[in-house]
A and B are shown apart, each in its own frame.
Chain A
Amino acid sequence: MEHANTLARCALITFSVVIVAMIFIAGKRDLYIRRIQGLTAIDEAIGRATEMGRPMVCLTGLGINGGIEIVVLQALAIVTYIVRSSAKFAARAICPVYDPQMVPVTEEAVRDAYSLAGRPDRFNPNDILFLTSRQFAFAASVSGLIWREKAAACFLFGYYYAESLILAETGQMVGAIQVAGTPATTQIPFLIAACDYVIIGDEFYAASAYLSREPTLLGSIVGQDISKGLMLLSVLVGVLLTTVCGLLATHGAQIFALWFTQPP
């Protein structure tokens, strides 16, 4: 089994302390994160669905390992924002669910969203659909749903695999405005080709933190940014050292690099 060398030990502990510290600080005071541009696209899409009088389809993705997991729950946080915003305009939101364990969680979250918007009567449990937990069967059934309902807006948030293009292209075929957000880097090209707006990578986590304003998520995002800043600093130091030592023909850069790669 792999074990940590000195650098891995220092870096892991430093990053962990930074992230946990920021989570605790976020519980005591409000931390600032900038508004993600994709959130404006969400509001536009909700407006369009209301004008056209056709439903919206809100997906929370397939998850990475199945079951109730963080990425799906963060996608659900964005979906509840969409439902809350659309509740006052009487736009119908259909939420297909991939994992059976997520069905009661999604029902609860959507019901709460309608209640918070002051429209608990608009909640329809039949709009929280468990279809299947097979990847392509899910893609086929959601495509059929989008086609039959002639959705005006499709929101694809969460983790997707190869079925992302099937879902997005079907939405294109019915003329829906589509906003996607996924941390799955391999699906970004397909979603960019087929969707109107895409929230990429870390922006997805930031979007769910921005919308939910949960201290844990906010603190986590800020802690991650600080950690990434430290990593960037070490990259810059390495590049500078390699350049300077290369010009001076010394071994300083190799010593620095050894610290990264020494065995445990």
Chain B
Amino acid sequence: MNVLRFLQTVDRRLLYALLFLTVAIPLLHPIVVPTVVLGRGPLGWLHPTFALRPFVLPVTVSPSTLMVYDEIQSLPPNSFVLLAPDWAAGSRGENGPQTEALMRHLMKRHIRFAMVSFDPQGPIISEAMAKRLQDQYGYVEGVNWTNLGFKVDQQDFLKAFVLDVRGAAPQDYNGKPVASEPVMAGIRSAHDIRLVIDISASDSYTYFIKFMQGPYKENLKMAAALTSVMAPEAENFVSSRQLIGCLVGLKGAIEYEHLLGVSGTATAANASLSAAHVLIIFFIVLGNVAMLLERAARRREDQE
């Protein structure tokens, strides 16, 4: 009974310590599994060889992520994409890898894009990310991509932005006039934007749908990359085709990197993500089993 009681009321500090180890160990050291390889020895006999190989978790791409990938893949050359990294350092764990994966894809396909954010930290973090990636794909700020910076009020900004892009965002994040940047050539209104991708830990994507996707749905499509907490709410917009797809949390970033064939920050965290989930499920099941066993034991005692 004491053991059963203990299993139902495990000290939370023990849970936290185990979670920390479960997340940290796969990040610091790749998990290896022993494998047996059968080969032929010198006399032609079967000869087993034991080896340690890195354990690679399989990745199945969800339809929602695939739709976002397919949309970017099918964009014609010289298309213009509006990327909105509306996130701060708090949601970096999920939104960071999503932003990186999407930027990689856009750069790989030589699609020009502009970033705009309604979170003060968004432009700083995403600018640093873009600058880190640009050399790998031969991208140049101002020529292939630009950062329009932080805007105070999303609703009022978007109402003005859809009508006159350069009027609403006359300067980029570094103070350079947007009209002089080759990346913004020919972009005058929302009519000239092919795709909007909102990367967010909030419901900012609903304003993009309201002011951009809704009125300009003939030529403008909208996708989102959200944290796992926000994604269930976006499911309605995916099913009504207002969002063509949605990347869900870190798993969405892992799936996207798998589609791109790169092994970035998301893929590196895949094992930690799985291990942490298994730990939570293990303790939930353990607590419930202990509770049911204790209940059964008490019923037996009462009957006696």
Contact = CB atoms under 8 A, between A and B. Distances in A.
A1 B215 contact: yes
Given A1-B159, A2-B210, A185 B233 contact: yes
Nearest to B216: A2
A74 to B, nearest CB: 20
Nearest to B230: A186
Contacts, number: 20
B90 interface: yes
Given A186-B229, A186-B233, A1 B162 contact: yes
B214 A2 contact: yes
B139 interface: no
Nearest to B162: A1
B163 interface: yes
Given A136-B90, A162-B90, A2 B230 contact: no
B157 interface: no
B237 interface: no
Interface of A: 1-3, 136, 161-162, 173, 185-186
Q: Which 7 A-B pairs have the closest CB atoms?
A: A2-B215, A2-B214, A186-B229, A1-B159, A186-B230, A1-B215, A2-B210
A186 B162 CA distance: 29
A2 B230 CA distance: 25
Contacts of A185: 233
B211 interface: yes
Q: Which of B201, B229, B230 is the most central at the interface, judged by chain A CB atoms within 10 Å of its CB? A: B229
Interface residues of B, number: 14
A3 B216 CA distance: 11
Interface of B: 12, 90, 159, 162-163, 201-202, 210-211, 214-215, 229-230, 233
Contacts of A1: 159, 162-163, 211, 215
A186 B206 CA distance: 15
Nearest to A161: B202
Nearest to A189: B229
A109 B157 CA distance: 36
20 contacts: A1-B159, A1-B162, A1-B163, A1-B211, A1-B215, A2-B210, A2-B211, A2-B214, A2-B215, A3-B215, A136-B90, A161-B202, A162-B90, A162-B201, A162-B229, A173-B12, A185-B233, A186-B229, A186-B230, A186-B233
A246 B199 CA distance: 39
Contacts of B12: 173
Contacts of B159: 1
Nearest to A186: B229
A3 B162 CA distance: 14
A161 B88 CA distance: 14
A161 B215 CA distance: 30
Given A173-B12, A186-B230, 12 more contacts: A1-B159, A1-B163, A1-B215, A2-B210, A2-B211, A2-B214, A2-B215, A3-B215, A162-B201, A185-B233, A186-B229, A186-B233
A136 B210 CA distance: 30
Contacts of A186: 229-230, 233
